[in-house]
Structure 1
Amino acid sequence: MWERVNAEQPVAGHRISAWWQVMRGRDPQEAHRASTPLELFFDLCFVVAVAQAAVQLHHALAEGHWAAGLAGYAAVFFAIWWAWMNFTWFASAYDTDDVPYRLLTLLQMGGVLVLAAGVAPAFQRYDFTVVVIGYVIMRVAMIAQWLRAAAEHPEGRAAALRYAAGIAVVQLGWIARLWAPGTWAWITFLVLVAAELAVPAWAESRGRRTNWHPEHIVERYGLFTIIVLGEVILATFTAVQSSLAERGLSSSLLLIAVGGLALVFGLWWIYFTGPAARLPTLRVALSWGYGHYVVFAAIAALGAGLEAAVDTAGHHAHLSEHAAALTVAIPVVIVLGVLAALHLMTGAGTVGHPLLVAAGAVVVLALTWSPPVLGLGGAVLAMGLVLAATLTANLVVSIRRHAAVRA
């Protein structure tokens, strides 16, 4: 018989321990706090949406529709990332893992699949109706979670009610935006994005802060980074496999595949080497969390860029080799720059000196002009080697600095 449990700090596990556990809030100092199976399952549903956004960006880039493709991609990826981020931070503070919690999480998972179904119409016809429906489904479930937290956790009630109210008001704005004409559609989009980003800062602005767990948050972001990197590998593999089936193996195709793998592995190494991020204040935590929108979006865009490079090498894209090289280089440069800023902000990572990162980024960009000499495949491989050299230089400087401090 399921029972209600009144636990001050309920611990999520691999099974449901009760029908309903009172949502008192998790201990932000809880030892060995790890992602739950439900959180990992939740992330897998977001893989579908990220894949759809990357596929549509690939098609736009291959057709030479840069501006429209990037604008649509940025808009869709924001919806994906923001819904994921909000669930992640809420779960870090209030994960009870009981039946109501799991069912509301299921509703959010359904919402992201609806959103994923609307990605193609958003890119092809600028019809965001299905995307908004999926997004609102996820956000309504999030409102219900915050209202439950407000009802069952008196100490955090004020912040929880502000979250619920802020999210609800913004969702009305997203629905109304569906009727915004022409230029107003993008103006209202930017206004609503700003409103979404402002809600957490407003909700946490006074009173008791939500009990999110810093180490748990860092782990969750790391896991999603791995998921997005895996999506890049899958997209590149699919493009290479299709090219092999149609035209057989070529030196350019082989070099793009090797260079792409080197870039993905290098970005993984940069992200996961060095001390873990420290989030001592709300300002640092929000800046670090918000900065990952660019990191996640750029990494996923790298997969689209590598696919476009494969298409260009096989003469199946309306891109010059220089333009195709740019689709690979620009995401890499963006990730390098943003990760460097985030690592310096939080004392994490492998940034030995910002100038080393900047030098690596400049050389990667310069290599976009090298296809007439190296070929497109050679240019992509060279980018991978430059990223490896940038990582190595930063590691050497960091190790020497730490050794000097210990001495």
Structure 2
Amino acid sequence: MTSAFRIPMTGRSTDERHRVSSPLELLFDLTFVVAIAQVAGQLAHAGEGGHVLARLPFYFMVFFAIWWAWMNFTWFASAYDTDDVPYRLMALVQMGGVLVLAAGVPAAFDEDDFTAIIVGYLIMRLALVGQWLRAGIEDPSGRRTAFRYAGGIALVQVLWVAWGFLPPHTAVWLFPLGAALELAVPLWAERTGMTSWHPHHIAERYGLFTIIVLGESVSASAVGVQQALATSGFSASLVWIASAGLVLLFALWWLYFLEPAAEGLSSKRGRSFYWGYGHYFVFASLAALGAGLEVAVQAGAADGHASETAVEYSIAVPVAVFLLMLYILHAPLVDEVVIRPLKTGIAIALVLLLPLASPFLGLVGVTIGVALVASALVATTLIDRALAARSSTKEPTASRPLP
């Protein structure tokens, strides 16, 4: 950390030793805890009302805004974090924008009103443009790339402001176009030179955000337990579903951190966009899983023998998406993924088939079954690693010539 008022903003070294998240980055992440809690809570409310499919497009739209704002700050900080006073003040402005965005989530879901979200997004983007302009002025080697970022972000933001004046139904259909333009800005900007982001720092930042989303899922489950106790009282179904949910989230956390990313990002920097962009589905699926668990806890407490296929798939589908993306994102980065693809495929199939057995298992049985599948995937992967390690230690001895 530094107490200097101003440090020239130049690209940081890509092989800087012991590069970890700064206290400012950790504080910045806390604002996203609020935003993710809001969007996951709204999805849970939609699930409780039985109209989750109708509100799912709004969930993906709002989550994209949250995720993309975090992405932009994270990658910029990895390349240009000076931690001086101007940088910190710009980060403060961006944090304020996140909180404004979070405050507008209920209106977006309930009234199709994206005004507060657009205002919050505008605040964040103006601060980010200021950061890129500063980088372009103070870092001659990365000037063209930085100015391309600043211009591209500003132009797309103008389009978002105009998008806010469209009728809600028209705006929903045009949202993918705006999202595609957002994703295109970094691809276009870095054609003149890649920014000096740090692979180990980026991998750690993504891991921390994964923990944040998992934490929100735990919090959502706790909210579901609290509401279930208030409305239905204590029951064995409540205990089983809540416990299975906790085991499931723990298993998914374990699986995520089994797959290495830092070394792959270091040796294959050109695939960073693929890996970074694809994490949208990892984060969105985990947040949706939290909403599904919140609904499942309440539904199970109300009727422990009920067969709620829609609720069960609100757990199964996010888990399946998470497992699939875990393989898809890491396979291009490493020579061999840690979690075997065959085991991943079997786990995904079982998770998606379990709700079909709902007439026999019920909501409690399906939830426990999904948790057991994820736990079994962790266990078999650990066994594979142990066997591989034992085999590698025996090979030199086996090949040693006889005296």
Fold similarity call, TM over 0.5: yes
Q: 1:105 to 1:348 in 2, by over 3 A?
A: farther
Q: Indicate which of 227, 234, 252 corresponds to 2:237.
A: 252
Q: Indicate which of 270, 275, 280 corresponds to 2:255.
A: 270
Q: 1:9 corresponds to which residue? A: none
Is 1:53–2:39 an aligned residue pair?
yes
Q: Aligned AA for 1:173?
A: L
Give 3-state SS (helix, strand or coil) of 1:378's partner.
helix
Q: Indicate which of 161, 184, 199 corresponds to 1:198.
A: 184
**Partners of 1:265 and 1:349 in 2: CA distance:** 24
**Partners of 2:13 and 2:91 in 1: CA distance:** 21
| Contact map agreement 2:307 2:358 (CA 8 A) in 1 | no
**Partners of 1:397 and 1:295 in 2: CA distance:** 24
Q: 2:370 corresponds to which residue? A: 383
**Partners of 2:378 and 2:388 in 1: CA distance:** 15
Q: 2:401 corresponds to which residue? A: none
| Contact map agreement 2:220 2:291 (CA 8 A) in 1 | yes
Is 1:78–2:71 an aligned residue pair?
no
Q: 1:138 corresponds to which residue? A: 124
**Partners of 1:329 and 1:350 in 2: CA distance:** 23
**Partners of 1:19 and 1:210 in 2: CA distance:** 24
Q: 1:92 corresponds to which residue? A: 78
Q: 1:340 to 1:259 in 2, by over 3 A?
A: same
Percent of aligned pairs with the same amino acid = 52
Q: Aligned AA for 1:247?
A: S
Q: 1:174 to 1:266 in 2, by over 3 A?
A: same
Q: Indicate which of 197, 201, 215 corresponds to 1:212.
A: 197
Q: Indicate which of 7, 26, 30 corresponds to 2:12.
A: 26
| Contact map agreement 1:116 1:131 (CA 8 A) in 2 | yes
**Partners of 1:193 and 1:101 in 2: CA distance:** 27
Q: Deviations over 1:287-340 (max 9, x none)?
A: 111111110111011110001112222349xx9611111111111010000011
Root-mean-square deviation (CA, aligned residues, Å) is 1.8
Q: 1:327 corresponds to which residue? A: 314
Shift of 1:181: 2.9
Q: 1:154 corresponds to which residue? A: 140
**Partners of 2:238 and 2:25 in 1: CA distance:** 37
Q: Deviations over 1:61-99 (max 9, x none)?
A: 111112222111100000000000100000001111111
Q: Indicate which of 289, 297, 300 corresponds to 2:284.
A: 297
**Partners of 2:107 and 2:208 in 1: CA distance:** 29
Shift of 1:350: 5.9
Q: 1:187 to 1:293 in 2, by over 3 A?
A: same
Mind listing any 5+ residue stretches in structure 1 that lack a counterpart?
1-12
Q: Deviations over 1:85-138 (max 9, x none)?
A: 100000001111111100100000000000001000100111111111101111
Give 3-state SS (helix, strand or coil) of 1:308's partner.
helix
**Partners of 2:70 and 2:259 in 1: CA distance:** 25
Relative to the length of structure 1, the TM-score reads 0.92
Q: 2:331 corresponds to which residue? A: 344
Q: Aligned AA for 2:301?
A: G
Q: Deviations over 1:263-291 (max 9, x none)?
A: 10000000112434421344311111111
Q: 1:193 to 1:348 in 2, by over 3 A?
A: farther
Relative to the length of structure 2, the TM-score reads 0.93
**Partners of 1:217 and 1:172 in 2: CA distance:** 29
Is 1:392–2:385 an aligned residue pair?
no
**Partners of 1:275 and 1:218 in 2: CA distance:** 9
Shift of 1:402: 5.4
Q: 1:349 to 1:65 in 2, by over 3 A?
A: farther
| Contact map agreement 2:307 2:363 (CA 8 A) in 1 | no
Q: 1:241 corresponds to which residue? A: 226
| Contact map agreement 1:275 1:349 (CA 8 A) in 2 | no
Q: 1:315 to 1:247 in 2, by over 3 A?
A: closer
Give 3-state SS (helix, strand or coil) of 1:345's partner.
coil
Q: Aligned AA for 1:309?
A: A
Q: Deviations over 1:236-257 (max 9, x none)?
A: 0121122123322212111111
Q: 1:348 to 1:276 in 2, by over 3 A?
A: farther
Q: Indicate which of 332, 354, 369 corresponds to 2:341.
A: 354
**Partners of 1:154 and 1:83 in 2: CA distance:** 26
Give aligned pairs, total.
390
Give 3-state SS (helix, strand or coil) of 2:231's partner.
helix
Mind listing any 5+ residue stretches in structure 2 that lack a counterpart?
396-403
Is 1:107–2:93 an aligned residue pair?
yes
| Contact map agreement 1:302 1:332 (CA 8 A) in 2 | yes
**Partners of 1:203 and 1:175 in 2: CA distance:** 22
Alignment of 1:176-195 (within 5 A): 176-181=162-167, 183-195=169-181
Q: 1:258 to 1:174 in 2, by over 3 A?
A: same
Shift of 1:180: 2.0
Shift of 1:374: 2.3
Q: Aligned AA for 1:356?
A: K
Shift of 1:261: 0.6
**Partners of 2:63 and 2:117 in 1: CA distance:** 11
